[in-house]
Every structure is written in structure tokens, then in C-alpha cells.
Structure 1
Amino acid sequence: MYIVMLTYVAPREEIDYLLPDHIEWLTRHYDAGHFLCSGKQPTQTGRVIITRPMPRAKLEAMLATDPLDVARMVRHEVVEFEATRTAPELARVNEALAS
């Protein structure tokens, strides 16, 4: 799994202009089963995405198609981890998604 930290590197007005395209991009990856959750950081300095396990190269290729990345308005920091424990609610969600 990965935690992807998106940090804005452009003025907020420019980010806001591309957010609908970014949200459409997110939706495509949710529909494809790549992303588990996402949202904005409380500091309004960026966003966070948590993904399913996949090859790192696949994730990097997906991130390169994010409209905010294409426009060079964000910087991605990717943290890979193996989930060895989850809350019971997450285990049930994961089981439901797998079937």
C-alpha cells in the first residue's frame, strides 16, 4: 500500500482551477479500484491519497497523469508500507471489496 502526500507548489487560485479535473482523475482511479481513500490536508497545503497495493512503477505512472502534476502544481511524496493490522471496520470493507 502507499500513502501519497500531495503538496501544493502553486498559488491556491491556480490549484482551485484544476481541482475539478483532479477530482475526475481521482474518480477514475477509485472506479478502477486503485484508491482506498483521499482528502485534503487541514492546513490547506495539499492532499493525501491512500492506495491499494500495486507495483511502484504503476503508481508513479498514475500520479504522472494527475492534472495537478501535469501542470506542475503539486509535488508527490510516496510512502510505501505493508498493512499488518487494521481496524475491524477496514477489514470488513476490504473483504467486501475483494468479493
Structure 2
Amino acid sequence: MFIISLRYVVPVEQVEAHMEGHLAWLEKHYASGTFIASGRKVPRTGGIILARGVREGIEACVAQDPFVVNGVADAEIIECAISRAVEGLDALQD
């Protein structure tokens, strides 16, 4: 399991210019089964994505995010081994 933490490095107005491409990128990786959850940080300083796969694949995926490509966000990839989850969130466990 991977936690991808996106942090905006420009004002949100500049991020918005790349939102359509970012949403299409998210959809592509949800459809492939790589992404299992995502959402904005509160306050809106970036976002979080929960992903599964191998690190090299996740790194390649993140490198294609329009936010990252266009330099409006930095990404941190955190790997974790989920050993326990509430009922219904079994997909989070390794």
C-alpha cells in the first residue's frame, strides 16, 4: 500500500489550470485498479491518494500526474504495510 501525498507549491488558482488533466489521470489509475481512494487535504494545500502496486510502478505513475509534470505540486510516496482495517476496507491490507 502506498500513500501519495501531493503538496501544492503554487497558489491554488494556478493548480486549477491543471485540474482537468489531473482528474483524467486519476480516472485512468482508478480504472486500472492502482488507486483505491483519494481526496483533498483540509485545508486545501494538496491531496492524498491511496494506491497499490509496486514502488517502481507507483513512482512512474506519479511522474505522469499533470500536477507534477507542470510543477504545481510536489509528491511524496510513502509505503506502508496495512495489517488491520475495519470491515469493508479489506482492500487496504497487504
Q: TM-score, normalised by structure 2?
A: 0.92
| Alignment: residue pair count | 91
1:24 maps to which residue?
24
Structure 1 or 2: larger helix share?
1
Q: Percent identity?
A: 34
In structure 2, list runs of 5 or more residues that go unmatched.
none
- Structure 1 unaligned residues grouped into runs of 5+: 95-99
Cα deviations across residues 75-96 of structure 1 (Å, max 9, x unaligned)?
11111011111111112xx3xx
- Aligned alpha-carbon RMSD (Å): 0.8
Matches within 5 A, 1:34-53: 34-52=34-52
Q: Under a length normalisation based on structure 1, what TM-score does the superposition of the two structures give?
A: 0.88
Please give the secondary structure, in 1, of the residue aligned with 2:33: coil
Instruction: Look at both structures and tell me which one has the larger radius of gyration over its CA atoms.
Output: 1
| Aligned-partner SS, 2:59 | helix
Structure-1 separation of matches of 2:5 and 2:34: 16
